[in-house]
Structure formats: structure tokens, C-alpha cells
Amino acid sequence: MTAPLALGTVHGVGLGPGDPELMSVRADRLIRSARHLAYFRKAGRAGRARRMVDGMLRNDVAEFAMDYPVTTEIPFTDPAYTDLLSGFYAECTRHLCDLAATGEDIVVLCEGDPFFYGSFMHLHARLGGRVPVCVVPGITGMSGAWTASDLPISWGDDVLTVVTATLGEEELVRRIRDTDALVVMKIGRHLPKLRRAVAAAGRTEAAWLIEYAAMPEQRVIRLCEAGDTAPYFAILLIHGQGRRP
């Protein structure tokens, strides 16, 4: 009697903040040996995750580009946004499960860390119990950002708060005012709102904007020197000033 075919494993591999040299040894090994590679991207774009692994892949690697059906075209509060993305993640999950059913392992590229505001989380929630899944952690974008600022993010008993700029303005003001150290992710078109919230919390002079941390385009500026827009890969920092010897 023929033994059933062992299922392949889906590996969610954290790439780190943008510099290929900041990948883990395990991530490097899995990427270089992958026969099947999947990655998210905006339709019509190469995808930053894919560009990060240029020159690392096998010649015979089979690629599966997961093109988002929507990004910022409609508000995330619109029910259509949830419906589109839910169907998209379900279809991607089916494809990965079909591959794993043939015994093939798949590497899914994840910018930063797979479990920190990453799209892979939506696959992980759907893959569980269906095929084996292994997550390889990566250095987060925020770690790359405070390293780029050349200042510690927290001292002693400082409380660090991480928020996204997609929150409402009043909520942003409260969070910014009530913490010692701050990281704000997903800024992009929300920069004007975020700037107002930082000012209302009385912390403009302490705020830094880090664009493309650990990438060739990296830029570190004070928030007060920034323009009216910021790229998606921008992070706002307010460094803690807590207890120290």
C-alpha cells in the first residue's frame, strides 16, 4: 500500500526592514533553496519584497505573485474593501494549500516581521490546520527606523506605544500624549492628520520622521521639516527620555 504523500510546508519568511544583509541566516537559507516562492505586491509593480531577493533565487524557482485587488483606492471602512481582501486571501490560501498537497514547500516573502502588521498574518489564520506552517521572524521596520535615527527608543521604565496613523485624530492625540516613547506606522497620506495630532499633544519638537529605514532611499528628518506627504514606508518616532544611570 502506498503511503500518503507528506504535505509540504508554507514558510512565512521575514525579510527584515529592507537591507538584505539584515535577513536572518535561516531566512537566507530558505530563500536560496526555495523551489516555490510567493510574495505580495501591488498590481503592476515588481513588489519590494521580491526586489529584496534579487540575485538570491534558484534558476528554476516557480514564482507566485499575489497582487492586491485594492490598496488605497477605497476606504478600509467600506464593506467592499473587506469583501475584496477576504476573497483575495482565500484564493491565495487555496493556491498555497494546493501546492503543499503535492508535497512542495513554499516560501512566502514577508517584509519586516510576518507577525507585525504583515499581510502574511491573514494567510496564517487561514492555513492553520490545513497544511504545516512555519514562521521565520524578521527585524521589524520600526527597529530599523530607530537605528537609523541613531538614538535609543526607550530608557529605563519608558512605556513604548506602537500605533498606526490610520487611527482617528482624537485617538492619535490621546495615544501620543499618554506615552513615553512612540512609533507610528502606516503614515502615507495620513501625514497631515498625524502632524496635527502630534502638535495637539505638544510633542512636535520631539518627533522624527524616518523614511525607507534600512533601504537605499533612507531619510531621517524632524517632523517639523517634513512636507505634506510621506511614503508608505515612513515611520514617526518620539524617543523616550526615561531613567538612566
Q: Is residue 3 part of a domain?
A: no
**What is the mean pLDDT of the segment spanning 204-229?**
95
Q: Domain check: are 192 and 95 in the same one?
A: no
Q: Domain check: are 117 and 162 in the same one?
A: no
Q: Domain check: are 209 and 175 in the same one?
A: yes
Q: Is residue 172 part of a domain?
A: yes
Full-model pTM? 0.92
Strands (E), the chain: 10-14, 36-42, 62-68, 106-110, 133-136, 160-164, 181-185, 207-211, 219-222, 234-238
Q: Domain check: are 106 and 157 in the same one?
A: no
Q: Which of 75, 105, 139 is the last residue of a domain?
A: 139
Q: Domain check: are 185 and 91 in the same one?
A: no
CB 220 within 8 A of CB 149: yes
Contacts of residue 244, defined as CB under 8 A and 6 or more positions apart, other chains included, come to: 155, 156
Q: Domain check: are 100 and 126 in the same one?
A: yes
Is 83 strand, coil or helix? helix
Q: Is residue 179 part of a domain?
A: yes
Does residue 71 have a pLDDT over 90?
A: no
Q: Domain check: are 129 and 205 in the same one?
A: no
Q: Which of 139, 171, 191 is the last residue of a domain?
A: 139
d(CA 199, CA 205): 9
Q: Is residue 163 part of a domain?
A: yes
Is beta strand 181-185 parallel, antiparallel or unpaired with respect to 234-238?
A: antiparallel
CATH code, domain with 126: 3.40.1010.10
Q: Domain check: are 59 and 107 in the same one?
A: yes
Q: Is residue 29 part of a domain?
A: yes
Q: Is residue 220 part of a domain?
A: yes
Q: What are phi and psi of 198, to 5 degrees?
A: -65, -40
DSSP label of 16:
B
Q: Which three cell numbers stand for residue 187?
A: 503614515
CB 142 within 8 A of CB 185: yes
For 144-179, how does the pLDDT look when each residue is reduced to its tens digit (9 = 90+)? 999 999 999 999 999 999 999 999 999 999 999 999
For 169-178, how does the pLDDT look when each residue is reduced to its tens digit (9 = 90+)? 999 999 999 9
Q: Domain check: are 93 and 178 in the same one?
A: no
How crowded is residue 7: how many other Cβ atoms within 10 Å of its Cβ? Answer: 17
Q: Domain check: are 169 and 120 in the same one?
A: no
Q: Is residue 153 part of a domain?
A: yes
Q: Domain check: are 151 and 44 in the same one?
A: no
Q: Which of 139, 154, 188 is the last residue of a domain?
A: 139
Task: Give the pLDDT band of residue 193 (cuts 50, 70, 90).
Answer: very high
Q: Is residue 243 part of a domain?
A: no
Domain count along the chain: 2
For 119-142, how does the pLDDT look when each residue is reduced to its tens digit (9 = 90+)? 999 999 999 999 999 999 999 999
CB 150 within 8 A of CB 237: no
CB 111 within 8 A of CB 82: no
Does residue 66 have a pLDDT over 90?
A: yes
For 40-52, how does the pLDDT look when each residue is reduced to its tens digit (9 = 90+)? 999 888 899 999 9
Q: Which range marks the domain in which residue 121 is found?
A: 10-139
Q: Domain check: are 60 and 171 in the same one?
A: no
User: In terms of DSSP H, where are the helices of the chain?
Assistant: 25-33, 48-52, 79-101, 120-127, 141-148, 169-177, 191-200
